[in-house]
Structure 1
């Protein structure tokens, strides 16, 4: 039995896995992720270097902020279908151990500026709903909250480098990948910068320190950037509601109300033209697809004329410049969804994982492709989807930011990849966020082990004592007549048999449960919501 317990502790407990659910509640969508990783023998946390995504589920509705009346029932109706599908991937015996986190990003950060009372109700109703899911939800305030822009950027950096195995293969910090993340309301830039004088974050991961520069630009995500841009066009229209839009697909017409544009915190300050209009005004944006004029307007927003730091990106935001061309970069999220539509015009094909490598591409090639897209008549666009009319604007926004905002060159472009997945894991901030949150979670809220070290040591000592007692008894009986030997042997055999039975019972209750723990993550974006399951 002693030997069996030792083997059980050192080998049989390893296959247990932990799970977590993470929800990305963003400005454009919500998405739920379920992750799992091998459990170790310390404090209920696992070996996150071997983490993998089990499942992801997009919430079919619009972003979480479309819940007008933020009650628990309405939150349940918003999430329930996707949540049920995602959580079903977690074995029933492991659900009570699966942690759940919701991180709300730039969309809710913006709404918290204009309507904090609504956000408080929404988060509290979400916490109430999560408490009914029978997952491990013991710290509601920290497990459902709005995350900062720096958290979002750093979490994306951790996710990327974890999945690319850069953090635990004894790689040098400068060998890690920088990350470009584009959302609906904000965009993030993160990369190793040990000499950065501001916005440098030291993280200790796998016993190594990493000094990461990270900045989040609120209102520079694609959706909010377009609203700010449209507000500027209205301001320059001298009271006209028919507005020529150089960054909109040629001949496409988009109608928007005054509130559609100016109710957001990003565009609110651009309503100086309100003297001409009221909240019921409707504007018609008529696409001209004028690449030259579009580029001129775009470059104005990435102005670097005033910089109070040693070097800046734009709008007086500190950034180490230039960024070394030796740093490898990964661009993700809306970078991918936009470029995958532009790629056929750049003559670049995705690799077998669907990702794009820019080794042989120059910025001039991308500019030429954008120009062709913008001037193409809407009537000639084959099988367009709802995002196609804005491909001109989104492409101009992304690549103007790359070149004139971040000050990257053709040399930086050679080390850029635009990706959607790594080893079948969707890339984003949720994985890194979950790892960081579980590591900092108060031990009293973590999953408990079925067999702790203290319990194991107690069983081991008991077995050793029983073994010693049995040896003493056997020795004391060694002088009895031979006809008693059979009885002694029978007793010993019986005792060993009982020990074997006890060992099997322990094995049954500890080891024949599923050997994985799960996590659920929800991405509640500004345009939709998705649920991810990781194991």
Structure 2
């Protein structure tokens, strides 16, 4: 009886051991959905984690200033909203803005140590002013962090704009400051009062102020700093500045590729950007060919680090080639004297058109040619003089890379009926040329919409073809927003503020 009992005990022990081994195997090899694996903490993201605790001394030292907690970094990982196939989509979810006012998230009560990873939801904001040549825009970004080991995600953006641009107040800085106060009132209504002292406010001016004399630009910047200092928000030491053209292009590229999901994609398939402002225009893309980098002027190549990747971009900003500056250059008015009596004419304008045009605080008299000819061919010839030999043509633009085009590319495409304002759309370069011809040959029809539409559409066509060297078949994605967030450099600049990208 001893031997059978021993054999029975040994068999039970072997069977139990086998079951434990199988259970251990399946526990470590079970299927984990892609989006859960993506959000797991890894060594690659460890050095990107923000210092969420950032403790402030409970007892402040006399005479020692205390500073608000500023988050260091954002993570572009998509926020999983639905555990269905949409969660596998590479484009990050941007949650639509919540009804105002925002409520402070509920803070979780302490829990047993076994569940110590459960933490509070953290909400914070950032305010970025875009002081452009034709208007000043405020971007208010709301970010959410659900756990200290996770990185924050973009929740939504509130956007508002006023006209004219800050540069229009070059002779009256105080009024320029009032335009900023007007926008700050919106920020105070949007952001909870308890968050004001923690929320950084930053203004970056672009081509409008770059075109001004240095003393007038500095007077405007000084006025804005004073307005910021009297506000309840956190004002960093470098909160007001003029942004150089290279950073404008790079940060717009960061914004668009973040919103389209390309910055954290392993494929490195990014999209290029074309930004057409009032005073300048930018082109930025990630070169696929070494020849593009080698043949470009050294100042056209920019490097920076973001999310554990080093990017080397082709980027350049053409000051004076924005849409409104190009109008004046086409008319021969940019930098001209005798503005009180001179009338600047163009065959790009309706024959009976005559109007005063203000740009950058200066007024010009412009007109069509009453007894002359007008139309696409003559207009194209005039516009060519503004572009030919000025714009560098990158080597690989004759390929099939997709570019996102926004700002006045989008606005004029809408006005001319090329795309729908609510949806945007994909067009080819040849579509701009075709519509420009239609507009120029029917100026009377389009005059009520915009008397400069022929000139603008012809300029865009010429800039794309004769300037940058795009093929007729190059596809452009025209967009004002991506995932309900404005396609501009502002979001990229907010990333740059919280986590210095060291663009060089």
1:338 counterpart = 2:409 = no
Shift of 1:21: 0.3
| Residue matched to 1:148 | 244
Are residues 234 and 245 of structure 1, via their aligned partners in 2, closer, same or farther at CA, if it must alter by over 3 Å? farther
Q: Deviations over 1:290-323 (max 9, x none)?
A: 211111122233324xxxxxxxxx45x4x43231
| Residue matched to 1:355 | 424
Query: Quick check: which one's helix share is greater?
Result: 1
Query: Which residue, out of 1, 4, 23, partners 2:129?
Result: 23
Give the whole-Å Cα distance in 2 for the aligned partners of 1:56 and 1:22: 10
Query: 1:432-443, aligned counterparts within 5 Å?
Result: 432-440=492-500
Gaps of 5+ in 1: 265-278, 305-313, 443-535
Shift of 1:119: 1.7
Give the whole-Å Cα distance in 2 for the aligned partners of 1:136 and 1:155: 22
Are residues 66 and 296 of structure 1, via their aligned partners in 2, closer, same or farther at CA, if it must alter by over 3 Å? closer
Shift of 1:69: 5.3
Give the whole-Å Cα distance in 2 for the aligned partners of 1:399 and 1:377: 17
Q: Deviations over 1:201-245 (max 9, x none)?
A: 12222112221110000000011111111117999xxxx956652
| Residue matched to 2:459 | 397
SS at match of 1:323: helix
Give the whole-Å Cα distance in 1 for the aligned partners of 2:501 and 2:286: 26
| Residue matched to 1:373 | 439
Contact 1:242 1:285 in 2 (8 A): no
SS at match of 2:128: strand
Give the whole-Å Cα distance in 2 for the aligned partners of 1:404 and 1:419: 23
Shift of 1:12: 2.1
Output the TM-score relative to the length of structure 2.
0.68
| Residue matched to 2:169 | 67
Q: Deviations over 1:144-174 (max 9, x none)?
A: 10000001000100000011111113231xx
| Residue matched to 2:101 | none
Query: 1:186-225, aligned counterparts within 5 Å?
Result: 186-193=280-287, 195=290, 196-197=293-294, 198=298, 199-225=300-326
| Residue matched to 2:139 | 33
Q: Deviations over 1:64-85 (max 9, x none)?
A: 12335555x5444222233212
Shift of 1:40: 7.9
Contact 1:350 1:357 in 2 (8 A): no
Query: 1:104-143, aligned counterparts within 5 Å?
Result: 104-111=205-212, 114=213, 116-139=214-237, 142-143=238-239
Q: Deviations over 1:259-285 (max 9, x none)?
A: x68997xxxxxxxxxxxxxx9x95544
Are residues 249 and 371 of structure 1, via their aligned partners in 2, closer, same or farther at CA, if it must alter by over 3 Å? farther
Q: Deviations over 1:184-212 (max 9, x none)?
A: 00000000026213221122221122211
Are residues 262 and 28 of structure 1, via their aligned partners in 2, closer, same or farther at CA, if it must alter by over 3 Å? closer
SS at match of 2:395: coil
Are residues 7 and 80 of structure 1, via their aligned partners in 2, closer, same or farther at CA, if it must alter by over 3 Å? farther
SS at match of 1:51: strand
SS at match of 2:452: helix
Shift of 1:252: 2.2
Query: 1:226-237, aligned counterparts within 5 Å?
Result: 226-231=327-332
SS at match of 1:28: coil
Larger RCO, structure (CA 8 Å, separation 6 or more): 1
Query: 1:470-489, aligned counterparts within 5 Å?
Result: none
Query: Which residue, out of 273, 291, 295, partners 1:179?
Result: 273
SS at match of 1:88: helix
Contact 2:346 2:369 in 1 (8 A): yes
| Residue matched to 2:99 | none
| Residue matched to 1:53 | 156
| Residue matched to 2:204 | 103
Shift of 1:11: 2.8
Contact 1:190 1:214 in 2 (8 A): yes
| Residue matched to 1:410 | 472
Give the whole-Å Cα distance in 2 for the aligned partners of 1:19 and 1:233: 40
